[in-house]
Amino acid sequence: MMNECFNPNCRKPLHYLREGRVFVFGVKADSEGQDGEGSHLEHYWLCGACAQFYGLAQDGDGVRLVKRNRVQRSADLELPGPEALAS
Ligand SMILES: [Zn+2]
């Protein structure tokens, strides 16, 4: 299921998990009792390039691509705030 980028316009093959971002969503199973539980976890992957501009959100019974509100030029380079440093 997770062997390529979730972006349908990209479809980059997944080779290294260190690249990009992995999203995990709880998905309801079609039929209960299949694996003893009513839901299971699904993993989705966005490659590094797509993860800079997109995220994933669970929407009803599916997962969809969403544009990130804030574009971060240099891959998630966020400095910790003063609160984090104080603790
Ligand atoms: Zn991609």
In a domain, 76, yes or no: no
Say if residues 29 and 38 touch (Cβ distance below 8 Å). yes
The residue range of the domain holding 64 is 1-68
What is the reported pLDDT for 83? 65
Task: For residue range 48-79, list pLDDT tens digits in order.
Answer: 999 999 999 998 878 999 998 765 555 555 65
Ligand 1 centroid distance, CA of 45 (Å): 8
Is 1's pLDDT higher than 70?
no
Ligand 1 centroid distance, CA of 74 (Å): 17
As a three-state string, the secondary structure of 4-36 is ECCCCCCCCECCCCCCCEEEEEEEECCCCCCCC
Q: Which residues lie below 8 Å from residue 38, measured CB to CB, with a gap of 6+?
A: 28, 29, 32
What is the reported pLDDT for 16? 79
Number of folded domains that form the chain: 1
In angstroms, rounded to a whole number, what is the distance separating the alpha carbons of residues 34 and 19?
Answer: 33
Ligand 1 centroid distance, CA of 48 (Å): 7
In a domain, 50, yes or no: yes
In a domain, 12, yes or no: yes
In a domain, 47, yes or no: yes
* Pairwise pLDDT comparison (14 vs 83), residue with the higher score: 14
Task: For residue range 7-48, list pLDDT tens digits in order.
Answer: 999 999 998 778 899 999 987 766 655 555 677 888 999 999
